[in-house]
Amino acid sequence: SDEMKMSRAAAVLLPTLRLVFSAFIGRAPVARRHLFSASTMSDEAAELASRPLITLSDGTCHPSIGFGTYKCGSIPASASASTSSNTGEASPPARDIVSEALACGYRFLDCAQFYANEAEVGAAVADSGVARSELYLASKVWTSTIESGPEAVLAQLDRTLTDLGTEYLDLYCIHWPVPGKHVAAYKALEPLVAAGKIRSLGLSNYSVEDYQELVASGLSVSPQINQIELNPFLYRKNTVDFFRAEGVLLQSYRALRDGKQFGHPLLVSIAASHGVSTAQILGRWCVQKGFIYIPKSVKKERMEENARVFHFALKEEEMKSLDDLTTPEAIENFKGLYRKCVNRDTSKDGTLDGVKMDITND
C-alpha cells in the first residue's frame, strides 16, 4: 500500500535528516549518507543500516552499532576457554554468517587477524553488493605479529586489506599492548593514515597505563578507539572516565556476556518491565552509556533481536542497578586475564615478562 511505502521510505530518510539537521546547528558534522534502496531491504534492516553515527575526535564518523566476527566460522587455537561457545552445534561458515548480518542491516564489521576469517568476511562483503562507502570495516593486528616488529605489522595490514577486498580500513587497532612492542607497532601505522590505507587508528585491551606509555612516546596520530570488555558485569568506571576525558571512544566487546547472564534475576525483571529480552537490556545499557555496541550471533533472528535497542530507554535507577552488578571478584578476574593475554601467542606466552603489574583495574 501507499502507506507502507511511505513508512518504509521514512525509515531510511529520517535518520539521515536528523544528522544533517544536527550538522546545521553545529552539533555534529554531516555523516555519510546511507544509499540503500528501501525496495530491496526490510523496514528493520533499513532502519539498522541508517543508525546515527558517532563523530570521533579526528572528524571521522563511527557507527553506533556493529557486528562482531569473532568465532564466526572458526575458533582461534588460543581462544579463551572461559569464553568459548559450547553449544555442541556446528557453526555455519563465516561467509554465510556475515552475509546474514549484512542482510539484517549491520554496516560496521569488527574483524581481526586473530579471528582467522577475514577472507570469508571479505567474500561476504563482495557477495552483498553493499557499497564500500556504506561500510565501516575495522580490524586488529595480533600479538605475534606485533612482537615480530613494524615490518610484520605493515605486511599484515596489506593481507587484511586483500582478504577484506578493500583499499582502506576505516579503523585499525593494536589488539593487545604487547610489552616492549606495542608502541613501535602503533607508530609504524601512523604514516598510513596520511597515505589513505587507514582512516583512524585505535587500540584494544589497553589499560590507562598502556595508553599513557603510548602517548608519552610522542604520537603524530591520536588513538580514536579503545575496545575493551564492557557490560554491567564488568563496568570499570575509572577506566571509562579516563578514556572519555582523553577523547577516546570505547567499543564494547562481550557486551552480551556470551549469553551467560541472560537468566540473571535483575536482567529478567528489567526486561519484563520493558517488554524486551535480557539481551536487549544489556545492549541498551551499552548504547545508553555511549559505548559502541558490538553484538554477535550466528543466528539471524538473534542478530535482529540484538539490534533492537534504540526504541526504548532504561530509567536512571535501572542503569544504576545494572552498574552495581560489577563485583570485586569480576575485577580480579579481569586483572588475571589482562596479565595472561598481553603476552599470549608471543615468545613470552605463559610468563609475566614485561607485564604491567600495577594498572588501573576498575
Residues sharing a CB contact under 8 Å with residue 251, sequence separation 6 or more, in sequence order: 66, 110, 202, 204, 225, 226, 227, 228, 291, 292, 294
What is the rounded distance in angstroms from the CA atom of residue 167 to the CA atom of residue 84?
Answer: 32
Closest CA to 322 of 362, 266, 268, 240: 266
**262: which 3 cell numbers?**
541472560
Q: Which amino acid is at 14?
A: L
What is the rounded distance in angstroms from the CA atom of residue 354 to the CA atom of residue 219?
Answer: 22
Q: Which amino acid is at 126?
A: A
**270: which 3 cell numbers?**
528489567
Candidates 106, 115, 172, 253; catalytic one: 115
Catalytic annotation present for 338? no
What is the rounded distance in angstroms from the CA atom of residue 34 to the CA atom of residue 230?
Answer: 28
Residue 141 CA, chain-centre distance (Å), reads: 14
Burial level of 351, CB count in 10 A (0-12/13-18/19+)? exposed
Instruction: Give the residue numbers marked as catalytic.
Output: 115
